[in-house]
């Protein structure tokens, strides 16, 4: 009877340790998933900000955070013509560009949408940009709005 009682206590302590380890592992996994998502967010934001397809350049001098409006219009078609290529680069994201006009206010246009239907995580970020029309060098304030799904 005494031995059984000792064993019962030993297994009870082992079970408590097991449950504690499991809970700790689960928490660590959640932190890792969050870390992974943050890294993916940083990666995507840098990649989108520096896409040569849409960056505005003058005499091949690329201006940071300046987007070319004509290139953007063409880029929308290019994405549709090369879905696999851009899926591998951009992944599961929704890319929207908002433009501010002093008369009509904000307008938005979705350039890429590969939204996951059954996503478990979603993060978003915004980057302020300058939208330049290379035909008349007119500049407007804009925002890139990206939603990342996983």
Partner 1 sequence: MLKKAEISLQFNWIYIIVVGSIILISGFAVVSNIKKTSINELILDLKLYLDTIINDIQLDKESEHTVMLPDIEIEFECNSFSIKDSEYSSISLLDNILFSPNIIKRTLLGYSLHWNIPFTTEFFSYITSPNVKYAFLDSEHSRTLMDILPNNTNKELAAQYKDYNEEKNYKVRYINFGNLPQDFSFGDFRYIDDGDVSILKINIIENEDSFPDSIGKITYYKKEDNSLRNIGEINFLDKATLMASIYSEIPEIYNCNLEKSFKKLNIMATIKMDKLTEYSNNPHLSSCPYEQAIDNLNNMILLTSNVKTDQNYVTQVYDLSKSIEKENKLLQRLSCPQIY
Longest dimension (CA), the chain: 93
Minimal distance in Å, beta carbon 105 to partner 1?
25
- 69 Cβ neighbours under 8 A, 6+ residues apart: 131, 132, 133, 134
Subset of 12-71 contacting partner 1 (CB under 8 A): 32, 35-36, 39, 42-43, 46-47, 50, 52-53, 55, 57-60, 62, 68, 70-71
Find out whether 46 and 38 touch, Cβ atoms under 8 Å: no
**What whole-number distance in Å separates Cα of residue 22 and Cα of residue 145?**
38
| Residue 82 binds partner 1, judged by CB under 8 A | yes
| Residue 73 binds partner 1, judged by CB under 8 A | yes
| Residue 5 binds partner 1, judged by CB under 8 A | no
Find out whether 112 and 86 touch, Cβ atoms under 8 Å: yes
Residues found near partner 1 in the complex (CB under 8 A): 3, 7, 10, 32, 35-36, 39, 42-43, 46-47, 50, 52-53, 55, 57-60, 62, 68, 70-71, 73-75, 77-78, 82, 85, 88-89, 134-137
């Amino acid at each position: 009877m005494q031995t059984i009682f000792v064993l019962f206590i030993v297994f009870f302590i082992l079970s408590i340790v097991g449950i504690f380890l499991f809970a700790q592992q689960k928490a660590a996994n959640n932190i890792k998933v969050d870390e992974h998502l943050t890294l993916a967010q940083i990666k995507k934001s840098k990649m989108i900000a520096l896409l040569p397809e849409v960056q505005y350049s003058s005499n091949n001098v690329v201006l940071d955070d300046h987007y070319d409006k004509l290139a953007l219009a063409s880029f929308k078609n290019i994405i549709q013509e090369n879905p696999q290529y851009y899926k591998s680069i951009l992944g599961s994201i929704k890319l929207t560009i908002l433009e501010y006009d002093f008369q009509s206010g904000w307008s938005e246009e979705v350039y890429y949408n590969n939204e996951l239907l059954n996503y478990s995580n979603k993060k978003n970020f915004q980057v302020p940009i300058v939208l330049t029309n290379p035909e008349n060098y007119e500049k407007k304030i804009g925002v890139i709005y990206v939603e990342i799904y996983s």
